[in-house]
Homo-oligomer: A and B are copies of this chain.
Amino acid sequence: MSEQPQLSTTNILQPELKVAPIDWFDYPVRAFPHHTDYSGVVWHGTYLTWLEEARVECLRSMGVDFAELVALGCNLPVMELSIRYHQAIQMGMDAIVRTRIADMEGVRINCDSQIQSLDGDVLYATARVTLVAVDLAKGKILRQLPSSVKDALMKK
């Protein structure tokens, strides 16, 4: 069993980069029938689609167009993900997915998200997602983030 270690080896000497101290990016979602399961609330896997949508839009708000990045041959697959479900979301309910780029370590980008009620009074879920920059064609970890991404995300 080879637990591929190459995912982390290329950035050993790269310092952690501070990202701009931006506000959270708010992305609204609504629980439609296809998001739910037999228990009448949103299925736990559905949250990953919302986290992804919020992440893509958060990046766009910072100047990084995900589809363009992919067209240029750079992919940002999820390398690690953890999520905690605090409170169920009923069908028909609205929620806000608050997202921010927490930090970057080499070619890794850590994104934090909080899914909460519109008024901010109820926290439905919290998540951390780690992306890693990859050469789309070869599937190999890049040595460094494309400069367009780094410039967009870095602290000024």
Query: Which of A44, A84, A120 counts the most B-chain CB atoms under 10 A from its CB?
Result: A44
Within 8 A of B (CB), among A1-50: 1-4, 7, 30, 32-34, 36-41, 43-45, 48-49
Within 8 A of B (CB), among A110-156: 116, 120-123, 136, 139
Task: Check if A87 sits within 8 Å of B38, measured CB to CB.
Answer: no
Tell me how far the C-beta of A122 lies from the nearest C-beta in chain B, rounded to whole angstroms.
7
Stoichiometry, copies per complex: 4
Given known pairs A1-B123, A34-B37, A91-B67, the reply for A85 and B75 (CB within 8 Å) is: no
Query: Which of A33, A52, A77, A81 counts the most B-chain CB atoms under 10 A from its CB?
Result: A33
**Residue positions of A touching B, CB distance < 8 A:** 1-4, 7, 30, 32-34, 36-41, 43-45, 48-49, 52-53, 56, 65-68, 70, 75, 77-88, 90-93, 116, 120-123, 136, 139
